[in-house]
Amino acid sequence: MGKYELDEFEVFFKTLYAECRGEPRRGQEWVGWVIKNRARRNKSYWGGNTIRGVCLYNHQFECWTKKDDIHMDSNEFSGWARNLELSPQNYESVKAWVWNLYQSTGPDPSKGADHYNNPNIGGYPKWTENCDFLEKIGKHQFYISKCFNK
């Protein structure tokens, strides 16, 4: 199945899998909120007002760049669940956790984050100049666009 045939939740689920499954629970939660915050802010340069649009927009999430779909290896779900501190450590518990994050309308624990990167891989891209640093969690550094940091 190609990425344009996936429903919004599957795109969100696969984006988290590909972008941050090895990160601590809190970091994974923040990546999810980066996606949600971008959709809430409804900027065309981020892909609009849907989670699906934001995740699949060109060059926004590296995991989708030049890929039509993301293969999820079932052998990695126990490790992913372990990073999320879930029990049982299986596909169902991970999917339930991601579903709850996807559906969450509660307070944003990420302080409005709308960007993140791993400086060990990508250094400090030019876009970081237009952002305020929020916090480092695991290997990711999280930022908010200066125009939204009020």
**Cα distance between residue 74 and residue 91, in whole Å:** 7
120 part of a folded domain: no
Whether 84 maps to a domain, the answer reads: yes
Let me know if residue 112 belongs to a domain: no
Please, what are the averages of pLDDT over each run of 10 residues along the chain (150 residues)? 85 94 95 98 97 94 83 83 87 93 96 97 94 98 94
* Inside any domain, residue 22: yes
**In the prediction, which pLDDT does 1 show?**
66
Q: What is residue 105's predicted lDDT score, i.e. its pLDDT?
A: 92
pLDDT for the residue numbered 113? 99
- Domain assignment of residue 47, yes or no: yes
What pLDDT shows up at residue 100?
Answer: 96
**111 CB-near residues (< 8 Å, 6+ apart):** 134, 135, 144
Is residue 114 in some structural domain?
A: no
* Spatial separation of the C-alpha atoms in residues 87 and 119, rounded to whole Å: 31
In a domain, 142, yes or no: no
Number of domains in the chain: 1
Give the model's pLDDT for residue 107.
95
| Contacting residues for 3 by C-beta, under 8 A, at least 6 apart | 11, 56, 64, 67, 68, 69, 70
Residue-level pLDDT at 33:
98
- Show the domain range for 36: 3-107
In a domain? residue 19:
yes
